[in-house]
Amino acid sequence: MSKMELPKRDGVDEALSWQHLQATRETRFFRSLALQCQREIKLRRQIHRWSALRFLWRLFRSAPLARKAVELSIVRRSPYFDAGWYLSKEPDVAASGLSAERHFLRHGGFEGRDPGPHFSSASYLKRGQDVAASGLNPLVHFHIFGKSEGRWAGAGRRKSQGMPAIPDRVVYVVGHTLPYSSNGYAIRTHEVAKALGRAGHDVVVVLFPGRPWSIEGFGPNEQVQADRRIEGVRYVTLRTQQLLGLSQAAVQEAATVLLSDAIATLRPASVVAASNWRIAEPAAEAARANGAVFFYEQRGFWEMGLGAGAIRELERAKEIEVARSARAVIALGPQMQVELERRGIPADRIIRVPNGIAPVRNTGVAIDRKDLGTTSRYLIGYVGSYAEHEGIEDLFAAVARLRLEGVDVGLLCAGGGEPKGLIGSRFSEQVVLGAYAAKYGVERNTHFLPRVPWAEVAPVYGLLDLVVVPRRNSEVGQLVPPLKPYGAIAHGCHVLMSDLPPLRDIADEIGARLFPAGDVGALAEGIRRHLEALPFLGKPQSHWSLAWGQRIKPLSRRLRNVEEEVRKAQQAGALPPFDIAQIPRAFLALGKDEAADIGIGPCRNWPGALKCAKRNDILAEVATRPPATLVIDWQGIARAGGEWQGLWGAEDIGLSKQVFDACRIALDRGWRIKVVGPVSLAEAPLFAMVSGQVEILEGEVSASWADEAA
């Protein structure tokens, strides 16, 4: 069969085809990861009498024959042992004359062989020196000691995909994200990713493995969407509930492997990880394993909240180690840059990306002051997390002082103390804040609102005459700028802040007023002056230079440099190129071994087995399966509609192009193409482009459909 004559395709068309296939490949990966996790959890739940086996092993520890019998039973019962998998991966086992279980127990485990795809003997022996010293098989050691100690089972050997990098793709690894959290960390992630996307980068935000389930207050069995888009930003959550209960060291190692798999699938040229080092270190190792360039976003110096001691020094050393390993370190302000330089990071490797202002999203339900039950003339507020260093108690003291002086002012606190800004958890600091209100005698004039999603906060700001950021003087306060003032100014609120170096810089940008940090009298006086001037004040105006699109430009330039490096290396042959000719090879590793006819449309009466394809997997199906027959049921589509409605018509060119691509790949790989017709060119003018290269079946398959309709 000769090649099908289709319209010429430029680079944009080829990229679109790649995008369809890459999206399918990624979907399959995350789906397989989810199924793997569910399978492992199910198998673990089916294990019975593990306590009895551990007891018997300890009981017969000094009796070699009885102990070996118990160990053999442990291997057989283990969900990580797969005899068929072991025999297929280790062909010399059959020649030994031993069963798979006995060979692994006596020899394989000590030689670093894996009992199955979800346990790595070599890595378990490597990371636990006591395992080798104990003389126990690594799988036996895991079930007797390692599991209860929070060690990770590891993962079996993986075949490298050997796929080329997508030059403009950036994987952004973070600790918490929308829609689960709505604190400054999650909001900054979203705005940076969205701004980079608008600047032309292909950004994928990946939540750190184990989260959100490992966040205190999030249900361990709660289902989450693995791959979603929010305002054009793609978020990927790795379904890894099995990391719950592991030690911190085991989580770090597991995260490295899981992130390495995700990065190998997503194929970015650059990986950006946000604070702290526990998030960034696995991301850095995974990036290096896949040949990607690593950037570290230093959002804070969290060890400063630990006080003096060895733990603080260890945390600081790990932060420095991760920062020094990065191509560049992202700082939020000049004070952070100075601190990074003090830690030995060269100035030319520091990128400053300050917090910025985003457009207002008013999707929340309107709130009136009457809804709060307030009768105060003025209402000031704090919107954010209830951390101790934020100085919220000073705000209660200032309101109490103002009321004693005759100023009719109320206080609204909107936010919470939930871990990682988790929305809808049971954690709340309202009890503590209520104690502050009682302490200063302002219970009737204080109001609390729970943490709300970032897109629903506009009505809260609309209630306030003034937003106060009363941050106290501390090591963190001297260095790290908050996001709160930018959120307030974006919603048209005036801001009063503590006079700390990072806040001083922000005040110069947004026109906010300052008061001496920790001085309740000065805070009360600043509030009074603002309220007295309200009749003469208009809404504050923000400058275009504060928008996120402007803020991320220094980072975007560095990412463009990496992109250019990758493109030049691919053109020079130093790296595998990125072209459409690789499509069949790209998917063979994830494809099916068996041949099967593939159908587009209902194909209800096709003789023999046939798999009906979906729009999101048709290209992958014809690119990965052995050649068979591609059936296009045009008559069935015309009657039933569905996702293929509009094929070969002028109203959905994208659909027609996708099927053209599927036909091209199918013919190149030796498939036959049959169309259930007849096809009227008046209804499907684009069919003329393929009509000469397909076999038309008129009425053979669709005859019974007419009978059903009658």
Tell whether the model's pLDDT for residue 24 goes beyond 70: no
Q: Other C-beta atoms within 10 Å of 146: how many?
A: 22
3-class SS at 532?
A: helix
CB atoms within 10 A of CB 691: 15
**With contact defined as beta carbons under 8 Å apart, do 418 and 428 qualify?**
yes
Structure tokens at 219: 């249900």
Task: Report the Cα–Cα distance between both ends of the chain, in Å, rounded.
Answer: 39
Distances (CA, A) of 424 to 217, 388, 537: 9, 21, 37
Amino acid at 671: W
Q: Is the pLDDT of residue 379 over 80?
A: yes
> pLDDT per residue over 635-652, tens digit each?
888 887 788 888 888 777
How would DSSP label each residue in 590-606? TS-SS--EEEES--TT-
Give the residue extent of every domain in the chain: 11-15+591-709, 49-146, 166-352, 369-542
Residues 608, 625: Cα–Cα separation, whole Å = 17
Residue 659 above 80 pLDDT? Answer: yes
| Residue range 166-352, CATH number | 3.40.50.2000
Global pTM reads: 0.68
pLDDT tens digits for 336-358? 999 999 999 999 999 999 999 99
The answer, yes or no, to whether residue 656 has pLDDT greater than 60, is yes
Q: How much is the average pLDDT of 317-334?
A: 93
More confident residue, 588 or 546: 546
Interior/surface letters 236-271, b for 16+ CB within 10 angstroms, e for the rest? bbbbbbbbeebeeebbbbbbbbbbbbbbbbbbbbbb
Whole-angstrom Cα distance, residue 633 to residue 694? 12
Residue 46: which pLDDT band, with cuts at 50, 70 and 90? very low
**In the structure, what pLDDT confidence band is assigned to residue 1 with cuts at 50, 70 and 90?**
very low
Q: Which of 186-200, 383-397, 573-587 has the highest mean pLDDT?
A: 186-200
Secondary-structure breakdown of the chain: helix, strand, coil percentages, each rounded to the nearest 5: 50, 15, 35
Fold match flag (166-352 vs 369-542): yes
H-run or E-run covering 268: strand 268-274
| CATH-assigned architecture of domain 369-542 | 3-Layer(aba) Sandwich (3.40)
pLDDT in tens, 622-633: 877 778 899 988
Kindly indicate the confidence band of residue 41, based on its pLDDT and cuts at 50, 70 and 90: very low
Higher pLDDT pick, 597 / 52: 597
Q: Is the pLDDT of residue 588 over 50?
A: no
Q: How confident is the model at residue 20 (pLDDT cuts 50, 70, 90)?
A: low
Q: Position of tokens 């305002």?
A: 231
Q: Residue 422: which of 614, 217, 162 has the closest Cα?
A: 217
Distance CA 10, CA 136 (A): 60
pLDDT at 332: 96
Cβ-contact 175, 185 below 8 angstroms: yes
pLDDT of residue 173: 97
Cβ partners under 8 Å of residue 625, min gap 6: 591, 592, 594, 595, 596, 598
Contacts of residue 89, Cβ cutoff 8 Å, sequence gap at least 6: 113, 114
